[in-house]
Amino acid sequence: MEYRKNDLVTLRIEDCGADGEGIGKTDGFTVFVKDAVIGDEVLVKIMKVKKNYGYGRLMEVLVPSMHRVEPRCAFARQCGGCQLQALSYGQQLAFKEKKVRGNLERIGGFRDIPMEPIIGMKEPYRYRNKAQFPVGKSRDGRIITGFYAGRSHTIIENRDCVLGVPQNKEVLDRVIDYMEKNGVEPYDEAAGTGLVRHVLIRYGFFTGELMVCLVVNGKSIPRWRKLVEALLEIPGMASITLNINEKRTNVILGEELRLLWGKDYITDRIGDITYRISPLSFYQVNPVQTQKLYGKALEYAGLTGKETVWDLYCGIGTISLFLARQAAFVRGVEIVPRAIEDARKNAEINGISNVEFFVGKAEEVLPREYEKNQVYADVIVVDPPRKGCEERLLRTIVEMGPERVVYISCDSATLARDLRYLCERGFEVTRCCAVDMFGQGVHVETVCCLKLKEENERADAEILTGEELEIFDRA
Ligand code: SAH
């Protein structure tokens, strides 16, 4: 049977797609339905038709799935922040584990990967230490803040996101009140006019320190003392800054920071290491799960105190410092110069001296250091962005032949591709564990341990080219 736009169909949702959408079938025709969850029987209006599949809008849940739960947030459906709030947390974890396993099998070609049970959160709400709220105007001219709707810049009004800390609302109430009373206009994207673009808030879960950074289209804000006075009513306030962003761009933060009150950073801890976090630095958003993830990475690294370790894509040195406590020496590599400044500072405030940091691309620094200076590694840790590692870096890792590689990944598809490369050249995956850092969202972190296969340990690793490298071009 042929389906057309605006047709109404009844479906049973059998699966969940990579973006959290429900997937159902009717007469061999697959329909993707946002907001439908596995097990639902739904009435769907077909919105878009492709050859063997289409996209439908959820009109009615006819028979709710046994895994369906009431979203805690009233805006869960419109807001682009969460995708899985209507699915029970247990099923969210099952979905994520299956996604990782599926990618390892399909893209990596692995069978029987030794996967440990996914590490979930005790409390999958209120876990985020960071939020960036856009500020704008409603149709009737009120100043509003909240989150963007999915794939748009329409602000869904909400000052109390259930993934964030309750302090967010305290801050936003005061910022909006200050703007209203002092005639401070929100930024208008279309016109490029107005002042306040975003409010960035960070909270140190383990120190209780609170940071507020107002991103503005200008160099200053009028009567700023009024804003500072109001914000100081909130316990824990430690840092109030302005970030200057006068560019007409979607990038949230500009480069220049101005201090209004307190410090231009807050501190937080993971384990017994203290980190200094500036509004501009990358820092994991879920501190409780980060500690578990890094704990796993450390366990997989199997350090005894004698090892030389490379930590590639090291950011502000978060993992490097964690590893340095148990290794002989750690070298970190990161592309953002400011992050490396923070990493060096973090080493200093923790009294850690067995680390060295390099600014540059991992795929350039490691090959260079290996070829020129014959550097050595017992363990290499990589934690790349979503696109994974460059082939040139993986090739150097194969040539160096460390005893262990610990791969931390935020995208299991590129992870699978990179593991395949390493495993075709002498390594094997010995352990693997997914860690949920993003409850109610679709993303999941994975950490893997690779070892040199025994027969390869002393033999020179062979380097393959040509056809086998094509997988990188295709990805
Ligand atoms: N390991 C850190 C950061 C991980 S995020 C932590 O857990 O906090 C990935 C990091 O890789 C970012 O800091 C990003 O700036 C950096 N990065 C991106 N491409 C890179 C490259 N080619 N070489 C080195 N670092 C890179």
Q: For residue 294, which atom of ligand 1 is closest to its CA?
A: 7
User: What average pLDDT score do residues 419-430 get?
Assistant: 97
Would you say 332 and 354 are in contact if contact means Cβ atoms under 8 Å apart? Answer: no
Q: For residue 408, which atom of ligand 1 is closest to its CA?
A: 1
Please list the residue range(s) of the chain that carry CATH number 2.40.50.140.
8-68
Q: How far is the CA of 316 from the centre of ligand 1 (A)?
A: 9
Residue nearest to atom 22 of ligand 1 (CA): 361
Q: How far is CA 119 from CA 2, 19, 158, 437, in A?
A: 43, 20, 30, 9
CA torsion angle for 33, 37, 41, 42 (degrees, to 10)? -30
Tell me the per-residue pLDDT of 195-250, one tens digit each, with 9 for 90 and over.
Answer: 999 999 999 999 999 999 999 999 999 999 999 999 999 999 999 999 999 999 99
Tell me the per-residue pLDDT of 162-195, one tens digit each, with 9 for 90 and over.
Answer: 999 999 999 999 999 999 999 999 999 999 999 9
Q: How far is the CA of 294 from the centre of ligand 1 (A)?
A: 15
Query: Tokens for 294?
Result: 């890094």
- Range of weakest confidence among 58-72, 75-89, 449-463: 449-463
Q: In whole angstroms, what is the distance from residue 94 CA to residue 118 CA?
A: 8
- Is the pLDDT at 470 greater than 70? The verdict is no
- 469 closest CA partner among 418, 432, 416, 407: 418
Q: How far is the CA of 333 from the centre of ligand 1 (A)?
A: 8
Q: How far is the CA of 362 from the centre of ligand 1 (A)?
A: 9
CA torsion angle for 32, 36, 41, 45 (degrees, to 10)? -50
CA atoms within 13 A on the CB side of 273: 26
Q: How far is the CA of 407 from the centre of ligand 1 (A)?
A: 13
Please list the residue range(s) of the chain that carry CATH number 2.40.50.1070.
130-270
Q: Which residue has the tokens 């100081």?
A: 232
Residue nearest to atom 11 of ligand 1 (CA): 313
User: What average pLDDT score do residues 330-345 get?
Assistant: 94
Would you say 299 and 323 are in contact if contact means Cβ atoms under 8 Å apart? Answer: no
The domain 130-270 is classified under which CATH number: 2.40.50.1070, 2.20.25.90, 2.60.120.260, 3.40.50.300? 2.40.50.1070
DSSP 127: -
Mean per-residue pLDDT of the chain: 93
Would you say 143 and 180 are in contact if contact means Cβ atoms under 8 Å apart? Answer: yes
The domain 8-68 is classified under which CATH number: 2.40.50.140, 1.10.3720.10, 1.10.150.50, 3.40.640.10? 2.40.50.140
Q: How far is the CA of 385 from the centre of ligand 1 (A)?
A: 6
Q: Which residue has the tokens 């406590």?
A: 325
pLDDT recorded at residue 473: 46
Q: In whole angstroms, what is the distance from residue 26 CA to residue 53 CA?
A: 10
- pLDDT grade for 456, boundaries at 50, 70 and 90: low
CA 154 to chain CA centroid, Å, is: 22
- pLDDT grade for 71, boundaries at 50, 70 and 90: very high
Residue nearest to atom 16 of ligand 1 (CA): 313
- 216 closest CA partner among 181, 158, 175, 167: 175
Query: Does domain 105-121+286-474 bear CATH number 3.30.479.30?
Result: no
CA 243 to chain CA centroid, Å, is: 22
Q: For residue 311, which atom of ligand 1 is closest to its CA?
A: 1
Q: In whole angstroms, what is the distance from residue 154 CA to residue 137 CA?
A: 10
Which amino acid appears at position 131 of this protein? A
- For a pocket test of ligand 1, which of 283, 289, 291, 313 has the largest count of ligand atoms closer than 8 A to its C-beta? 313
Q: For residue 316, which atom of ligand 1 is closest to its CA?
A: 8
Which residues are annotated as catalytic? 410
CA atoms within 13 A on the CB side of 243: 25
* DSSP secondary structure of 180-195: HHHTPPBPBTTTTB-S
* DSSP secondary structure of 66-115: TTB---SSTTTTTBSS-S-TTB-HHHHHHHHHHHHHHHHHHTT--SS--E
Ligand 1 surroundings by CB, under 6 angstroms: 282, 284, 313-315, 318-319, 333-336, 339, 361-363, 383, 385
Strands 308-312 and 379-382: parallel
Would you say 109 and 58 are in contact if contact means Cβ atoms under 8 Å apart? Answer: no
- For a pocket test of ligand 1, which of 320, 335, 397 has the largest count of ligand atoms closer than 8 A to its C-beta? 335
Tell me the per-residue pLDDT of 284-308, one tens digit each, with 9 for 90 and over.
Answer: 999 999 999 999 999 999 999 999 9
Q: How far is the CA of 100 from the centre of ligand 1 (A)?
A: 21
Residue nearest to atom 1 of ligand 1 (CA): 314
pLDDT recorded at residue 265: 93
Tell me the per-residue pLDDT of 146-161, one tens digit each, with 9 for 90 and over.
Answer: 999 888 889 999 999 9
Which amino acid appears at position 30 of this protein? T
What angle separates helix 391-400 from helix 362-373, to the nearest 10 degrees?
30
Q: For residue 290, which atom of ligand 1 is closest to its CA?
A: 7
pLDDT recorded at residue 27: 86
Q: For residue 333, which atom of ligand 1 is closest to its CA?
A: 24
Q: How far is the CA of 202 from the centre of ligand 1 (A)?
A: 20
Q: Hey, how many other C-beta atoms are within 10 angstroms of the C-beta on 411?
A: 18
Q: In whole angstroms, what is the distance from residue 158 CA to residue 143 CA?
A: 12
User: What average pLDDT score do residues 416-440 get?
Assistant: 97
Tell me the per-residue pLDDT of 122-142, one tens digit each, with 9 for 90 and over.
Answer: 999 999 999 999 999 999 999
Coil, helix or strand for 256? strand
What is the pTM for the complete model shown?
0.90
- For a pocket test of ligand 1, which of 273, 282, 309, 386 has the largest count of ligand atoms closer than 8 A to its C-beta? 282
Q: In whole angstroms, what is the distance from residue 429 CA to residue 159 CA?
A: 44
- 340 closest CA partner among 358, 354, 325: 358
